[in-house]
Structure 1
Amino acid sequence: MSANSKLGEKLLSLHRQKFTGVLTITAQDNQQQWEMFFHQGQYLWTEGGYHANRSWRRNFTRYCPGVNTEIVELRHQPQMRSRPYCLLNVLLQRKIIQRKQIQALIDNLSQEILFDLLQAEYKSVLNYSVEATSAHYLLKAGFSLSLISLNLEQILFESQTAWSKWGSKGLASCSPHHAPLLHRSQDLQRQLPDLIVANMSRLLNGKQTLRDLAVKMDKNVLDLTCGIIPYFFKGYLRLLEIADLSDAQAMK
């Protein structure tokens, strides 16, 4: 973790203090909020952030392919803090998915979230609020204290590496949550074969984020973005802010 990252310092401090509770992080510029849950210094899960539903759906589809979540009906409990987390736990208990799938899903989702936080820290000031709770509170909130074991320091390192590479390519102001939209395709057809332009128009339709497209095309999001960003600078591509999925869309 870079020495000037207050985010990294804060997370590692809670880890070393064996903190149990909730760390709430708020971006000062747009009031975007994340809630990070810890038990005895072990990081469990994060709720909130940019495109929380879209990110969940993308990662669930990637790591738990073919699983029909509609077969699971989660009873509404007012104490529940995360429906996706509880869903994973139920699917594991019913032996529909394996623990290693949950490990991979939460690990990758956490890396994406920490990348977003590092970018938010670069753009704005992050405010931190710490609420100590009991293990009993976390259990009532729907968290399993032994679901998986996450290496917070490794996740931080991976996220910092990804953010450093992203910034080194001049993409610091570009969010992987932006959706690329190809326009002026007629002008582009004079420079590229029709088939390539047709494929670009189909994929770069302003409805899928850079992260969505990277998973769909089985590419690293940095490589994908570096491949298409020249078209943005030439005026053939727009990067749009699009809405998150609804709760119903995310959980189906």
Structure 2
Amino acid sequence: MSASTIGYIKLANTLSIVSQKQVTGKLVVAHGNQEWQLYFLFGHLLYASGGKHSTRRWHRAISQHCPNFKFEVNQLSNHQLWEYKLLQTAISENQITLAQAKAILRTIAEEVFFAIISQPGLTRRWHPQKHPSSQTALSLLLSRLEIKEVLTSAKRVWTSLQEEGLWHINPDSTPVIRDTNKLLSSQENSDFLLTVNKLLNCDRTIWDIAFLMKMSLVEVAQNLYDCEQRSLIYFKQVEDWLSPPEKLRLVSVENRRPQATIACIDDSHLVGNFLEKILQPLGYKVVHIQDPIKGLAALEDSQPDLIFLDLVMPKVSGYTICDFLRKTTMFKDTPIVFLSSQDGIIDRTRAKLIGANDYLCKSSSAEKVVEVVAKYVNRQEAKTSQILTLERAYNFTCLAVEG
């Protein structure tokens, strides 16, 4: 008996017992360091979650069944069943229909069941819990028959993968192109390759690609496996996206941070205005000091996180100011970036020798200025950068896949 058959039988028997006893709570199914949570209300399935990519799975199901649904999480804390609570809110506000919500739940449950039955060994734990029993909640429940249908569908997909010799292909993995030119010049599976080439962005999983190409998981996995065998692509593991509640929490933490201050020491008011127009909309405070000698007190008061420093000024050179700042306790570690109209190798070398962190020409683009500020003003935690990744992630509703 295959591992998947054992996994299917174990899960099917457990679901049957829960249904017969009409219990309410959470069933935790685990394999290694992976866990899946199945929530029940009176023996009916309320929601399925867990695994490697619960948030990706949620976005994929939303995009499939109600692509125009724009959910808000302002009032939602990062607790269990946030996905389900968003669905309930959307139904009550007539953003989506009950049929759409149930389709989302079925799609998510099928992927969770697929992941569970594909594991060689499973542990199961039951946790009695209270769950909401409103009329909406009761209407969304998946019945014993619906659970059986979803489980059967998940097993059918897994069995097809096995029959095609693709049991080792993890749909949560991401295909990455080794050589674009080699891939596009390949004669085999040319139609598939021309289409999938537009989707291989090092972030989309096989599940994602199957959805976007409107192809079965088995068909996509077979084509990608052929590409792997010809060394056109390789597979890697990617992290899940941040959940909307976690994203909201990190944004809130970031917004509570003290505003970063950027100082500009330059006798020209045009340079100060230039930096203000670029940096103030991004949340930075810009302090412009036109007289470097009289303005030292203002510099001490503002305690900037970064100093842009002109090289040539009427009363004193930028080299002298930089050397002075590096010898003071308050500014010895403050990032200093020369912003000058001179861009010679000697100027750059001397600036580095007296302690400047970087050197920009005044003709530099706004993008370059922002890049330098981001480099030296560490205002974001590592996790916050994932928020930007999530924001840049593909939008299912806008992507057009050409054949």
- The TM-score by the shorter chain falls in which range? 0.7 to 0.9
Of 139, 144, 150, which residue of structure 1 is paired with 2:132?
A: 139
**Cα deviation per residue 1:158-185 (whole Å; 9 max; x = unaligned)?**
1111111111111111111111112133
**Identity score, percent:** 20
The residue identity in structure 2 corresponding to 1:155 is V
**Cα deviation per residue 1:57-100 (whole Å; 9 max; x = unaligned)?**
11111111112113x53343x8x521110000000001110000
Of 221, 226, 241, which residue of structure 2 is paired with 1:225?
A: 221
8 Å CA contact 1:176, 1:211 repeated in 2: yes
Aligned residue in 2 for 1:114: 113
Superposed displacement of residue 190, structure 1: 4.7
Cα 1:158/1:223, change in 2 over 3 Å: same
Two-structure CA RMSD over aligned residues (Å): 2.7
8 Å CA contact 2:49, 2:112 repeated in 1: no
The equivalences for 1:49-60 within 5 A come to 49-60=51-62
In 2, Cα distance between equivalents of 1:231 and 1:225: 10
In 2, Cα distance between equivalents of 1:21 and 1:197: 46
In 1, Cα distance between equivalents of 2:17 and 2:239: 34
In 1, Cα distance between equivalents of 2:49 and 2:183: 41
Does residue 237 (structure 1) correspond to residue 233 (structure 2)? The answer is yes
Does residue 24 (structure 1) correspond to residue 50 (structure 2)? The answer is no
8 Å CA contact 2:175, 2:202 repeated in 1: yes
Superposed displacement of residue 47, structure 1: 2.6
The equivalences for 1:66-145 within 5 A come to 66-70=68-72, 73-76=74-77, 80-120=79-119, 122=120, 125-133=121-129, 137-139=130-132, 144-145=137-138
The equivalences for 1:127-206 within 5 A come to 127-133=123-129, 137-139=130-132, 144-150=137-143, 151-192=146-187, 199-206=195-202
The residue identity in structure 2 corresponding to 1:92 is I
3-state SS in 1 of match to 2:198: helix
The residue identity in structure 2 corresponding to 1:83 is W
Aligned residue in 1 for 2:12: 8
Superposed displacement of residue 19, structure 1: 2.2
The residue identity in structure 1 corresponding to 2:74 is E
**TM score, norm. by length of structure 2:** 0.54
8 Å CA contact 1:74, 1:87 repeated in 2: no
In 1, Cα distance between equivalents of 2:19 and 2:228: 41
Matched residues, number: 239
In 2, Cα distance between equivalents of 1:64 and 1:112: 18
The residue identity in structure 2 corresponding to 1:73 is N
Superposed displacement of residue 3, structure 1: 6.6
Cα 1:217/1:191, change in 2 over 3 Å: closer
3-state SS in 1 of match to 2:238: coil
Unaligned runs of 5+ in 1: none
Cα 1:96/1:15, change in 2 over 3 Å: same
Cα 1:236/1:160, change in 2 over 3 Å: same
8 Å CA contact 1:185, 1:197 repeated in 2: no
Cα 1:3/1:81, change in 2 over 3 Å: closer
Aligned residue in 2 for 1:216: 212
8 Å CA contact 2:76, 2:82 repeated in 1: no
**TM score, norm. by length of structure 1:** 0.84
Unaligned runs of 5+ in 2: 248-386, 396-403
8 Å CA contact 2:65, 2:104 repeated in 1: yes
